[in-house]
Amino acid sequence: LALSACAHSQPRARVQFPPAYSPPVGTVVTGTASWYGPGYHGNRTSSGEVYDQDALTAAHFDWAFGTLVRVSFPQTGKSVIVRINDRFPNHKGRVIDLSRGAARAIGLIGPGTGEVRLEVVASR
């Protein structure tokens, strides 16, 4: 009886995202970035792709999949271009969630989060 009670877990609540938005090329946004990797590697992203933590990709709460974004990290003076291929809930006030590979490219791995500048370089 105790084992059968453990076998029935509550379904995970699905996050509702706003409709996808194609930002105009040249759109600039600043704010806090974070990164994600090991716990998600190999899982499906919101776009249906298999997540590769070492690819140059990112999650955004409403920018269209395929949008290319230059992410600049003033603290290190480095930047990287990422492709949006995933979603994340915007409840923590972050503007983007980078793959581990993108975070490594700009030096965000150590601090985990940091203030960045986003510039849309191509939009869908």
Q: What would the pLDDT profile of 20-53 be if each residue is shown by its tens digit? A: 889 999 999 999 999 998 889 999 999 999 999 9
Predicted TM-score (pTM) of this structure: 0.84
3-state per-residue secondary structure call for the chain = CHHHHHHCCCCCCCCCCCCCECCCCCCEEEEEEEEECCCCCCCECCCCCECCCCCCEEECCCECCCCEEEEEECCCCEEEEEEEEECCCHHHCEEEEEEHHHHHHHCCCCCCEEEEEEEEEECC
Sorting pLDDT into bands at 50, 70 and 90, what band is 124? confident
Mean pLDDT (the chain) is: 88
Return the residue matching tokens 């979603």. Answer: 87
